[in-house]
């Protein structure tokens, strides 16, 4: 806990270098806000400028999270409570009630999960599995829209992420692919998921483990949807995960309270709304446990070997589960050529749908386009 607090204090000190407004000279390095066009808006989202510095152009290396994004600033300035000085406890109290829509705590085996659920028990079931360093919150809009179309949804936070339990690494949970698969099996049993269902997976590390679970359990799936997940052994590993795997650097970086929101924004054509950024930040402010869980996951992972298995399985004619790859075209982390190669190799079972105007996290960037892809594929 003390470690987390010290890391956050470091952020507060560093953030004093952010661009400020001057009464005499006007704003410094002002950029117009980037807000995604609503469904049906005539203006192309691709033409909309970004807020601040999502790509970290003025902040590199292990301090790349220090940017002039509004959500970065909100981590050090409590806009709605100017009397507060921005210490960790005050930040937590200002946002602690956010982000638990559709969710409740579920005890599965030895661990307590936070699980979002929506829809009628009789509706076809869709299970949504997030990637690192995110949480199930990213699927909230897709789940709501799919429920309106007649699909029940379940989206857990993986162990170590979001609002789920974060066991101490090395003692209570291994943070390995096998351990995550075992606990996912147990959670589905706890939730009485016995019939075949649709599965949606997204992202790095635990997101890839959701996909490798699918490869081992094809008989349990009615259909599979893959959103911007590494699909080859040569898939590049983003800098943040490279840093987490480095001795000493990883221990520092994992306690960066704005790590998740920065990763999402750097992978997107848009900036997160402040309320959304608060939810991604909250677990990292609350304690050091989420950071150490992410650190352990990153260091136990073998991205190359996992990616090779995924590419081989999905490209094989023996993979017959109806699969859609709904790919945010503006993803700076993973080249779309990975998705194209898999879809070309197994065109009888795998379909690629390119989502214009969306980046690495299409469920956040443009939920309506993700829902359209899911409905077409699942029907």
Tens digit of each residue's pLDDT (9 = 90 or more) over 297-329: 999 999 999 999 999 999 999 999 999 999 999
Q: Which of 22-36, 90-104, 109-123, 283-297 has the highest mean pLDDT?
A: 109-123
Question: Tell me: the pLDDT tens digits for 9-61?
Answer: 333 333 333 333 333 333 333 333 344 444 444 333 443 333 334 343 333 44
**Cβ neighbour number for residue 249 with a 10 Å cutoff:** 14
Mean of pLDDT over the chain: 83
Residue 6 clears pLDDT 50, i.e. is over it: no
Predicted TM-score (pTM) of this structure: 0.80
Q: What's the mean pLDDT in 186-212?
A: 99
Q: Which helix (H) or strand (E) holds 222?
A: strand 221-227
Q: What is the mean pLDDT of residues 325-339?
A: 98
The domain spans of the chain are: 1-17+50-379
The encoded tokens of residue 312 equal 């081989």
Q: Average pLDDT for residues 249-276, to the nearest whole number?
A: 92
84-112 burial code (b ≥16 CB/10 A, e <16): eebebeebeebbeeebbebbeebebeebb
112 has which bridge partners? 107
Q: Where are the alpha helices (DSSP H) in 117-235?
A: 140-148, 177-190, 206-216
Q: List Cα–Cα distances, 63 to 7, 190, 209, 227, 330, in angstroms.
A: 12, 42, 29, 29, 24
Contacts of 353 (CB under 8 A, 6+ apart): 324, 325, 326, 327, 373, 376, 377
pLDDT greater at residue 142 or residue 73 = 142
The average pLDDT across 241-252 equals 95
- Residue 90, pLDDT score: 66
Give helix 274-286 / helix 259-266 axis angle, nearest 10°.
Answer: 140
Strands 152-156 and 197-202 come out as: unpaired
Lowest mean pLDDT among 60-69, 183-192, 211-220: 60-69
Structure confidence by residue, pLDDT tens digits, 105-114: 999 999 999 9
Query: Measuring CA to CA, which residue among 236, 226, 230, 237 is closest to residue 327?
Result: 226
Measured in residues, the chain has a length of 379
> What residues contact residue 125 under an 8 Å CB cut-off, 6+ apart?
151, 152, 153, 154, 193, 195, 197, 198
Q: Which CATH class is domain 1-17+50-379?
A: alpha beta
């Amino acid at each position: 806990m003390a470690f987390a607090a010290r890391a956050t204090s470091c952020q507060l000190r560093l953030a004093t270098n952010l661009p400020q407004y001057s009464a005499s000279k006007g704003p410094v390095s002002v950029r117009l806000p980037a807000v995604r066009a609503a469904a049906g808006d005539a203006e192309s989202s691709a033409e909309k400028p970004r807020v601040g510095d999502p790509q970290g152009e003025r902040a590199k290396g292990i301090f790349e999270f220090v940017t002039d994004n509004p959500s970065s600033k909100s981590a050090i300035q409590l806009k709605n409570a100017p009397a507060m000085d921005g210490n960790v406890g005050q930040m937590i109290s200002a946002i602690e009630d956010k982000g638990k829509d559709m969710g409740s705590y579920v005890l599965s085996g030895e661990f307590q999960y936070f699980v979002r659920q929506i829809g009628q028990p009789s509706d076809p079931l869709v299970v949504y599995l997030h990637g690192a360093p995110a949480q199930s919150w990213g699927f909230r809009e897709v789940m709501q829209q799919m429920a309106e179309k007649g699909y029940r949804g379940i989206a857990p936070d993986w162990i170590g992420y979001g609002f789920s339990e974060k066991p101490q690494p090395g003692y209570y949970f291994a943070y390995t692919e096998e351990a995550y698969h075992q606990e996912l099996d147990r959670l589905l049993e706890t939730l009485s998921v016995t019939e075949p269902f649709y599965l949606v997976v997204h992202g790095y590390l635990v997101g890839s483990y959701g996909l490798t679970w699918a490869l081992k359990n094809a008989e349990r799936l009615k259909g599979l949807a893959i959103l911007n997940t590494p699909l080859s052994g040569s898939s590049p590993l983003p800098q943040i995960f490279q840093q987490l795997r480095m001795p000493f650097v990883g221990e520092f970086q994992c306690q960066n309270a704005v790590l998740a929101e920065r990763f999402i924004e750097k992978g997107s054509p848009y900036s997160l709304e402040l309320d959304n950024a608060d939810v991604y930040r909250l677990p990292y402010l609350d304690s050091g446990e989420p950071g150490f869980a992410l650190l352990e996951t990153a260091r136990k992972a073998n991205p190359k070997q996992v990616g090779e298995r995924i590419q081989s399985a999905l490209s094989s004619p023996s993979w017959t589960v109806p699969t859609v790859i709904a790919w945010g075209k503006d993803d700076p982390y993973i080249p779309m050529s990975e998705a194209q190669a898999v879809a070309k190799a197994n065109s009888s079972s795998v379909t690629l749908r390119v989502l214009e105007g969306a980046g690495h996290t299409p469920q956040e960037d443009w939920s309506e386009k993700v829902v359209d892809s899911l409905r077409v594929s699942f029907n």
